[in-house]
Structure 1
Amino acid sequence: MPIAEIVLLFIAGFASGAVNAVAGGGTFLTFGAMSLTGIPPIAANATSSITQIPGYITSTLAYWSDIRTFWRGALMLAAISIAGALAGSLTLLSLDNPSFRVMVPWLLIGATALFAAGPWLKPKPKAGQPATVGSFWGSIVQFVTAVYGGFFGAGMGVMMLATLGLTQTGDYHRLNALKNLLSIVIAFVAIVVFVSGGVIAWLPAMVMIPAVALGGYCGVWTAKRVPQNVVRAFVIATGVLLAVYYFVTG
């Protein structure tokens, strides 16, 4: 792999971790960088799932005290997420790269729009209410979200936080803790499927994983100095440019 590509992937991974720590949407950067280096879209999508794992884990650990209060109820949503992520990731593997490439710009537009609407989709705080999980409609919605997460993943966090806010109870931080926990479940299922399917680009993954972890750590510094609206605008612009790139080159 040329040095220039390694540098690009490392920078994209670092920026992804930092962006996720501030506003979310880092998957756009890792997916975009791999696309620019010529990695086929299915492999780029699958590899992006691996690169985000460090951030999911650290953010979940930060909410561990909240998770301990409702972990038994969360087990059912975790099981539903496993089923949905399995369905989504297997569906991705059933496609070939040309077929998936046709879908990518539309998926990017949808994910970018979802991310842009994120501030208006955040659940309203419900202070004083215990976090309860596992309603029938909440289970159905979580299954659909997990299918999307296993299939593509960009914007999954925003989507899940919004749907959990509509279908579960609890304050914002408890819902965010649940979202982080379920994101780990979905990501791990997708990774197992993608590794078994042989679609992971391992060298780019090894370059980006430590970069994402480092970027996530430095994201705290970024959050204190860069307005969140600026970071969100950067992510949205990246999503639009990627969609245009796939429309033009497709």
Structure 2
Amino acid sequence: MSPLEQLAVLAAGLGAGVLTSTVGVASLLSFPVLLAVGLPPVVANASNTVGMLPGALSGSFGYRRELREHPRITALVLLTCAVGSVAGAVLLLALPPGVFEAVVPWLVLGTCLLVGAQPRITARLRARHAARGLEPVERTTMSPVTTFFATLTGLYGGYFGAGSGVMMAAVLGLGLDIEFRIVNALKTLAVMAANLVATLIFVLVADLDWRAIALLALGSVAGGYLGALVGRRLPATLLRALIVVAGLVAFVILVQ
């Protein structure tokens, strides 16, 4: 890589780190930059996962106050995404490149729309329960259905990951009655868990570009923490809107 290309990768790491902790579409910034500087797709994908791990770690550290509010949910999100990402990393190494290209854009589109519709869906479900004379129950533990879809999101995160934060925000937002700022923190933690497990696998068996990884890591560790500071202060409605917009942009990019 030329000095200018190295600067571009460093800047991509910084920007992607911010996106990891806010709207959750970091790979859509960093991955194309790695392709643009000449890395093969599978090498770029694996290197992107490893290089963005420090950003997810610093973002999760930045959200440590939110993550302590529901320790059981935090632990289960870690576990489900870690387990799912093992399968995702194996699929990345075993399947032909681009095997999920036709499906991924529609997954991102569907889940970002769910993030936007979640308050209305929740309100309608509560109204239906009230009409039946049922007492509303605060969902502060993950149901088997929510756990299943969180694991699937972890699998996707280990395989490719573009938009996985948006997907996790949709899963947790629909499955739990907790503040959206905490959902956003858990989403960042989920990305970290998926990246961590996938990194352990990729370091052992995948082809990696360590220069690109170092540059991404350097940028993302600052960006991830900065993004957590920003994400904590954004109103829930604005943060939700930004996630939806980011998901729509991701869909347009991926579908081309």
Asked if Structure 1 and Structure 2 have the same fold, meaning a TM-score greater than 0.5 normalized by the shorter chain, the answer is yes
After TM superposition, the structure 1 stretch with the greater mean CA deviation from structure 2, 7-16 or 229-238, is: 229-238
CA displacement 1:16-67 (0-9 Å, x = unmatched): 2344455332211110011112212112111222232233223322332332
Cα distance, 1:2 vs structure 2 = 2.0
Query: Which residue in 2 is equivalent to 1:247?
Result: none
Which of residues 153, 177, 181 is equivalent to 1:173? 181
Amino acid at match of 1:212: S
Residue 113 in 1 paired to residue 121 in 2? no
Amino acid at match of 2:16: S
Amino acid at match of 2:105: I
Kept after mapping to 2: 8 A contact 1:29/1:238: no
Amino acid at match of 1:171: E
- RMSD of aligned alpha carbons: 3.4
Amino acid at match of 2:216: M
Q: CA separation of 1:118/1:73 partners in 2, compared to 1, >3 Å: closer, same or farther?
A: closer
Larger RCO of the pair (alpha carbons < 8 Å, separation 6+)? 2
Query: Which residue in 1 is equivalent to 2:143?
Result: 135
**1 CA distance for matches of 2:66 and 2:189?**
11
CA displacement 1:181-203 (0-9 Å, x = unmatched): 23222111111111111232211
Question: TM-score, normalised to structure 2's length?
Answer: 0.75
Residue 42 in 1 paired to residue 42 in 2? yes
Cα distance, 1:157 vs structure 2 = 0.7
Residue 101 in 1 paired to residue 87 in 2? no
Cα distance, 1:73 vs structure 2 = 4.7
The 5 A counterparts of 1:1-250 are: 1-95=1-95, 99-101=96-98, 103-104=100-101, 106=102, 109-110=105-106, 113=109, 117=113, 120-121=116-117, 132-216=140-224, 240-241=252-253, 243-244=255-256
Aligned identity (percent) is: 26
Cα distance, 1:162 vs structure 2 = 0.7
